[in-house]
Every structure is written in C-alpha cells, then in structure tokens.
Structure 1
Amino acid sequence: MRFTVVLRTPARAAEPLFAQAPKAWQRMLPYIVVGVFVVSLLPTTIAVLTDDYKAGGGWAGALGVAQTVPLLLAVTRPLPAWVLILVADTVGAMVLASADNVAGHPWPWTPMSIVGYLLLMVCLGLRESVRTLVGVWLVTGAVGVALGFYELEVTTTAALLFVLSGAFLAVTGALRGIGDAQQRIAEQESISEAERARRTLLEERARIARELHDVVAHHMSVITVQADSAPYRLPGMPEPVQEEFAAIAASARESLGEMRRLLTVLRSDRANGGNGGNGTSGGGGVLAPQPGIGRIQQLVEATVRAGQPVELSLAAGAAQAAPPAVDLSAYRIVQEALANVVRHAPGAGTRVSVTHDAEEVLVLVVNGPAARDAVEALESSGTGHGLVGMRERVRLTGGTLDTGPLPDGGFRVAARLPLNDPTDDPPDEPPDEPTNDPTEDAS
C-alpha cells in the first residue's frame, strides 16, 4: 500500500477515508475494519453490561447499539460520529453509576467503549485538522473529569482514555500530515514537469520562428533589392511599371520590418519594454505599435495596387472605440481575408466593411468568384490554418466568427468583436470541418 496516496486528507467533506486509493481493496478497507469492530463490539457490550455490571436488559441493548453502530458513520463523517458516541458513552456511564454491580469494574468508560472510542480517534486523526483533534481530545478529558465527581468504588478509566485518545490522535494525525505533505510534493513536481515541458515547447517555437525569419527575410530582402533596382537595370521602363515596382518594394520592406520586430520580441527577455516601458525591448530593438483598424485603409490600398479590386467601408471612430485586443484582431482578420482572396480568387470583386456600435465591432469581408480573365489562382486548395487563426483571435476577444462559401462561388468572413472584456470564458466552438472550397486559406 502506498501511504502517500492513501493517508491524505479527503478532498470533500463526505468523501470516505482512502477514497483516492489506487486499488479497490484499499478503498474498501475502512468499511471492512469498522464493520468487523461493530459486529464484534455490539454483542460483547450487551453481554458485559448485562452479566458483569448487572444493568437492565433494555438499558444494555440500547447502550450497546448507541455506542457501536455510529462507528459506521466514522468512515465518511467521523466528527458527527464522535458526537453521537461521546453522548452515548456519557449516558452509559451515568446509567452504570446506579447499576447493581458497578463496584470494582472499570468506569466511567467500559473496556468496549474504550476500544470503540479509540477506533473513532483513528478515523478522526486521518480526517480532521489539528485544531479539531486538539478540541476533541480536550473535550474527552473534560467529560472524564466531570464524571469523576461521582463518588464510586470503581476502577476509574477517565485518565486512561484521555492518554490513549491523545496518543492515537497524535499518531494518526502525524501520518495524515505526512501523506498530505508527500501529496503536495508530488503535485508540485507534476506542475514543475508541466512547466518544463511548456518552456521546452516555447523555446522550440522561438527557434523555429527565428529559422523562419532567416529563410523568409532572405527572400524578402532579395525581392526588395530587385524591385528597387528594376528601374536602373531595365532603362526606359514606363512610369506605371516603375510605380508598381516601388509598391512591391515598399510592401516587402514593411513585411520585413514587421517580421524583425516580432523576432526582437521573441529574442528579448521581456516583451513589455525592457527599460521601464520606454518602447524598447530587452534586446535594444524599437518596438513599433501594433497595427489596428486605423491601418486597414492602407492595407486595402496595397491590395488594390496588387490588382485586386476592393471596396472599403470604414466607420468613423471605430479605431478609437476598440480596445487594443479588438483593434489588432480586426486588422489581422481583414489582412488574412484579403490575403486569401489574392491567393484563391484573384481579380474577384471584394467588399470590406468595418462598423461598430456601443457593444461590438463588426468586420465583414465578402468576395465574389475569381475573375475569368485573371491569372491562375496562386493556391487551389488549403489546410484551413488561416481560418483557424481567425477563430483563435475572435475567441480571445469573446466574439464570434462566421465563415463560409457563397452561392455565387465567393466567400464570406464575418466577425463580431465585443468592445467590453468578456466576463466569462467564450463557449467552446466545434472543430473546423475540412472543406474543399478553393477560397479556404492554405497558409
């Protein structure tokens, strides 16, 4: 038997002793022990009170039941059982004081009541707090002292029960305390192991992010250099083409700068500003503000320059009304939705709408089918990671997300983001079902 598992404080008030033991026979052990004691003590108590103390048959039977049957309650509720048995033992002592043959016999506690009382002390010691155990012990002694005012020629057992009950309470209470301490140590070790696993996972994610930055940053840098140098390498380039290359270079530089800022946060020891919130990270890099609703217009303009027809309806004051989490989530949702349109439905007419009221911000991105004369879609199938990312962002703000294909072959993304912090955890959402719609994100 592992006492670190068995001898610990039950988690709930009515939980039986050893209820959290790993094996069934260990959980049944308290019932078996108490049952054996009750079956043995009940007839013995009645016989001794009748034959030795010469108590009446009715009194002997009543006292035998009252002093032994409540022990069955001690497995789950030892404190109420102690109150019942102490009252029964006290009444029994007063009844035996006037019995015909009490002289020379143990009193006020009979040998049977002492045995049952000590079993009760074991149950109490394995269950109750130290303060409760001390109170039980002192009350036991006080009752014995009070009964000692009876002037009888008996063998007094008040001091004996007082000493034995204290010893049983001390030993079982100490065992229970050791079991609790070992259980807390095991739980702390489990928490530490989980924290180590989490730290390892975060470190691995940071390493992957740095490697991803190294790969993507190289290609983005090449794109920037090629776009910037195109007018010099290809003289005589028309003005619209030069503007297109300039827009490509600007987008590449912006993406590269944002990736470097994210990498700075990953590499810094503190992501909330290393010098008292002065806007610099622990690594010395400057942390730019996160994008929000106010930058959606720039995002749409960049998409239009890429050849994607987009209409924008942006409510005035939406950026000021939204808290930071909602502000960032709205921007990222529009960004991801437009990226999906460019990848899966090039040339499709797209409408972006951002409105708000006193309670929420509504983000709506709707696109039609890909234009017939457009170039071939960059991606024809997707894994849904982008939609999962949208759901996670909406979930963090306590909002809702509705996505799905339209009858005309287009796609719809609608997000409701509450302006007030959610007081309860958002309800669980059903897992994303696989879809064959070509407009689902593959990034």
Structure 2
Amino acid sequence: MASSLSSGDRSDVTRLGKGEKLSTIERIAVLAVIGTIVIFDIVGLFLPPGLEPLTAAIGIASTAALALYLWSPLIATYALGVVFALSFIPGIEAQVLTVAAFAAGLIVRLGWTSLVLSYVGVFLLATALVAVGGSTDAFNIGIFLVGAAVSGAVGYALRMAFARGRTLEVQLAEKAEQERQAVLAERRWIAGELHDSIAHHLTVVALHVQMLDDDRTSSESQEAIRIAARKAMTDLRFVIDLADDGPRSEGMPSGDLAASVDEAQQEFESAGHSVIVDGDPSDERIPRAAEIILARILRESATNVLKYAGEGEVAIRFDIDDDAAKLTVSSPLSATPRRELSSSRTGIGRMAERVLGASGEFSAGEADGRWVVSALLPIV
C-alpha cells in the first residue's frame, strides 16, 4: 500500500500536522483504560497493606493526566512531566514511567512533529534517570522502552489509518462534486445547443407566420417555414444524438461558415432586408474551431436581427489576416419592436462566452443608430 502513495503523500506522512482529533471509539477506549487504572488505584488505598496517600495521589494524578490528552496534548504532556518529577518523592517513578510509555501512543496519535520529537527525547531522559537511580533493573528498563515503542507504533498506525480515511472521504466528496458539475455542464450544453439551433429556426417560423396574410409574400413565407421546420428537426436530432452519445445522423450541422452566411442572407432577404456581405467567409486561413464559433455567432446575430432590427440594410463583414479573423454584423435599430417575438435573453451572453473562451474579443451594442455585433478570434 505504501508504494501507491505519491511523493506528496509520503511527505505528509512524515510531517505530522496540528489539530488531530480522536474518534469516538478511540475516546471510549482511552476513557475505559483510564477508568480501570483509577479504580485499581482507589481500591489499592483500602486493601492491605494499603498505599500511602501521597503514593496513591501521584498514581491517580499520573493516570488522570492521560485524560488531558483528550483535550490538549501539550498541556497533558506538561502535566505528566510534573507528575513524573513528583514521583521521585515517594519513589514510584517506575510506575509513572509505565504510564508515560502508554501515553507515547496518544502523543503520536494526537501531537505534531515538534511535540512528538520533544516527548521522545524527554522520555529517553526520564528512562535514563530511572535506570541511574537504581529503582529498577535493566530488564524493566527494556520493557519501558519496548512498551513505549509499541504504543507509539500503534498510535502512528491509527493516525495514518484515520488520515487515509479522511483523505478518501475528501476524494469521494470531490468526485461526487465533479460528477454533479459534469451533469450540470451537460445540461447547460444541451440548453445552449437548443437555444443556438432550435430557437433560431423557431424565430424564422414565427416571423413568417405573421407574413402569411400578405398575398405578396405568402408563398415565400410558406417555403421559409417549411425549410426552417426541416432544419429545426435536423438540429434537434443532432442534439439528441450527442446527448445520448449515439451515432451521428446525416445532415447534422457542420459549422460551415460560408453556408451559414448564405442561410442568413436568405433569411434576411425573405424578411425584407437588403444584405451586404463583405469579405470571404471561406478564407482558408480561418481555422476550423474559429469557423464553428463564427458560424454560431452569425446564427445568433441573425436571430436577433429577425426579432428586433428595423427596416434597412444588414451588413455582414469579415476582416481576416494572418493573425485574427473578425466578424461584424450590423443592422438598423428599430424605434419600436416590429414584431412581438419572445426572447430568452441569453443570446449575447452565450456569444460572449464562446468568443472569450477561445481567447477572443467580443462586443455588442449601439453605434450610430445601428446594432453592431463584433467577434474577433485569434488565428493560431
């Protein structure tokens, strides 16, 4: 398992951070051990030959110091050090050292690097003092050291296990959030595709429905409605195919810029606008990605022109060089809406999002009595 850890994970393993907390099960286990030891100390006061009050008090104090680790490892370590110093008075330093060996596991489990290293140094010094004092033999000294090492190893293992558990929880939460964001992104994408494709054709249909009563344009409007409905169904199949990750149907939108210009020009002329196209939309210097974006910008601009433009000329201009491709769509403003057509009010935002996402420049607004949409994309 250790081999699967990255270098950053291995660094975190050796660098203990501050703020570790015991789990509920660990707290219950520590309190059970402390409670058992305290009970034995209290019972020892009344059983023959009986313990001296000072000896019993220091023994209980050393055990109670363990409980402080549930609150503050630093204060608990200081308290245990004071109790160890006092234990030399009644000569029970070996007993307190046993408690300190058990506390090594709590220090490693709860403490930070500097505290753990300090505790190890002080524990070794205390063991040396007990050995020099001659109150216990070398075998018992070895037991203290082994006990502290085992306790520390258990504490370290528990710390790493809980750390890995928390890391796994964070990773699972992040993965769940990523999946949620992916679902939201897919929904936004589907909504955007429907807006860019279907809404445009429905605008054309709604526009020409209002022109059916005019005998001069009735036949042209019927043909325009038929073509828009057919294109809407094609685009709808395209969105459904992509959403289902299925095979692409024939005739789906290709993002051809020249074809988009021809389509927009026909729609403008059928709505009564004269159209000027300046520049070459089939310029080979326009990369495929930029061509698709400009085709979408033109379609959305055409939708807005059909909805809101006043009578007059619509200009489509391309400025292309070796560094950038620029599309400008200019249409006359109308003093009052010529037709009551609904709007999602998201078109300009989506156009700007597409262009800015490709490191381009976008602007839309009034200029000299006309509505001008401009999109500039770098050629890389």
TM bucket (normalised to shorter chain) is 0.5 to 0.7
Residue of structure 2 in register with 1:313 after alignment = 278
Shift of 1:377: 0.9
Question: How far apart, in 1, do the equivalents of 2:144 and 2:342 lie?
Answer: 85
For residue 71 of structure 2, give the secondary structure of its aligned residue in structure 1: helix
Check if 1:396 corresponds to 2:357: yes
Question: How far apart, in 1, do the equivalents of 2:253 and 2:314 lie?
Answer: 28
How big is each residue's C-alpha offset from its partner over 1:218-238, in whole Å with a ceiling of 9 and x where there is no partner?
Answer: x969x89x99xx9xxx9xx9x
Match of 1:44 among 63, 66, 83: 83
AA partner of residue 40 (structure 1): A
For residue 333 of structure 1, give the secondary structure of its aligned residue in structure 2: helix
Q: Is the 8 A contact 1:300 1:310 kept in 2?
A: no
How big is each residue's C-alpha offset from its partner over 1:120-175, in whole Å with a ceiling of 9 and x where there is no partner?
Answer: xxxxxxxxxxxxxxxxxxxxxxxxxxxxxxxxx44533334424542553366347
Match of 1:184 among 168, 174, 187: 168
Alignment identity in percent? 13
Shift in CA distance, 41/388, structure 1 to aligned 2, threshold 3 Å: same
Residue of structure 2 in register with 1:26 after alignment = none
How big is each residue's C-alpha offset from its partner over 1:348-367, in whole Å with a ceiling of 9 and x where there is no partner?
Answer: 33322222334432222223
Q: Is the 8 A contact 2:331 2:370 kept in 1?
A: yes
Query: What are the within-5 Å matches in structure 2 for residues 222-301 of structure 1?
Result: 245=219, 248=221, 251-268=224-241, 274=247, 281=248, 285-301=249-265
AA partner of residue 414 (structure 1): S
AA partner of residue 310 (structure 1): V
Q: By percentage of residues, which structure has more helix?
A: 2
Question: How far apart, in 2, do the equivalents of 1:254 and 1:201 lie?
Answer: 31
Q: Is the 8 A contact 2:69 2:106 kept in 1?
A: no
Match of 2:117 among 60, 83, 93: 83
Residue of structure 1 in register with 2:369 after alignment = 409
Q: Which segments of 5 or more consecutive residues in structure 1 lack a partner in the other structure?
A: 1-8, 22-28, 55-66, 106-152, 275-280, 421-443
Q: Is the 8 A contact 1:398 1:417 kept in 2?
A: yes
Query: What are the within-5 Å matches in structure 2 for residues 408-427 of structure 1?
Result: 408-420=368-380
The alignment's TM-score, normalised by the length of structure 1, stands at 0.52
AA partner of residue 352 (structure 2): R
AA partner of residue 168 (structure 2): R
Q: Which segments of 5 or more consecutive residues in structure 2 lack a partner in the other structure?
A: 1-11, 25-67, 94-100
Question: How far apart, in 2, do the equivalents of 1:349 and 1:169 lie?
Answer: 83
Shift of 1:76: 8.2
How big is each residue's C-alpha offset from its partner over 1:293-327, in whole Å with a ceiling of 9 and x where there is no partner?
Answer: 22243034312343212322224764x33343321
Question: How far apart, in 1, do the equivalents of 2:87 and 2:105 lie?
Answer: 19
Shift of 1:35: 3.9
Question: How far apart, in 2, do the equivalents of 1:342 and 1:353 lie?
Answer: 18
How big is each residue's C-alpha offset from its partner over 1:206-253, in whole Å with a ceiling of 9 and x where there is no partner?
Answer: 7996xx97xx88x969x89x99xx9xxx9xx9xxx68x845x455445
Residue of structure 2 in register with 1:17 after alignment = 20
Question: How far apart, in 2, do the equivalents of 1:355 and 1:50 lie?
Answer: 95
For residue 268 of structure 1, give the secondary structure of its aligned residue in structure 2: helix
Shift of 1:20: 12
Q: Is the 8 A contact 1:344 1:379 kept in 2?
A: no
Question: How far apart, in 1, do the equivalents of 2:110 and 2:312 lie?
Answer: 70
Check if 1:34 corresponds to 2:73: yes
The alignment's TM-score, normalised by the length of structure 2, stands at 0.59
For residue 72 of structure 2, give the secondary structure of its aligned residue in structure 1: helix
Shift of 1:412: 1.9
For residue 260 of structure 1, give the secondary structure of its aligned residue in structure 2: helix
Shift of 1:202: 6.2
Residue of structure 2 in register with 1:344 after alignment = 308
Question: How far apart, in 1, do the equivalents of 2:179 and 2:246 lie?
Answer: 24
For residue 321 of structure 1, give the secondary structure of its aligned residue in structure 2: coil
Q: Is the 8 A contact 2:363 2:374 kept in 1?
A: yes
Q: Is the 8 A contact 2:105 2:152 kept in 1?
A: no
Shift in CA distance, 250/162, structure 1 to aligned 2, threshold 3 Å: farther
How big is each residue's C-alpha offset from its partner over 1:54-81, in whole Å with a ceiling of 9 and x where there is no partner?
Answer: 9xxxxxxxxxxxx9xx999979862343
Shift in CA distance, 297/189, structure 1 to aligned 2, threshold 3 Å: closer
Question: How far apart, in 2, do the equivalents of 1:20 and 1:260 lie?
Answer: 59
Q: How many residues align?
A: 307
AA partner of residue 312 (structure 1): V
Question: How far apart, in 2, do the equivalents of 1:175 and 1:38 lie?
Answer: 18
Shift of 1:182: 7.2
Shift in CA distance, 201/89, structure 1 to aligned 2, threshold 3 Å: closer
Shift of 1:181: 3.6
Shift of 1:409: 3.1
Question: How far apart, in 1, do the equivalents of 2:188 and 2:375 lie?
Answer: 32
Q: Is the 8 A contact 1:394 1:415 kept in 2?
A: yes
